[in-house]
Amino acid sequence: MPTTTRTPLATPDEVAEHLRKPVKTLAEWRYRGIGPRYRTVGRDVRYDWADVDAWLAEQPGGPGGDRPAA
């Protein structure tokens, strides 16, 4: 796991690094309404780490996910 210092609200760059996904993917997920919950602060997008962790836990193959065992 990346060694990112986690502030209460994360930038898209920080979340992308944590998830090992391009920032552009997060933008697409926001557009499609399928990614982690986010908020805007002025014109800036920010993520609460608790929302990112909760979203990640809901994904197939993650903790509590439904990926079948090999």
Is 64 part of a structural domain of the chain? no
Kindly report, residue by residue over 41-51, the tens digit of the pLDDT: 999 999 999 99
Residue 13 has pLDDT above 70, yes or no: yes
Residue 69 has pLDDT above 60, yes or no: no
CA–CA separation, 54 vs 70, rounded Å? 25
Number of domains in the chain: 1
The CA-atom distances, in angstroms, between 61 and each of 1, 19, 53, 55, 57 are: 16, 14, 14, 12, 9
Answer for the pair 16, 22: CB distance below 8 angstroms, yes or no. Answer: yes
Is 23 part of a structural domain of the chain? yes
Range of the domain at 39: 9-56
Kindly report, residue by residue over 21-58, the tens digit of the pLDDT: 999 999 999 999 999 999 999 999 999 999 999 999 99
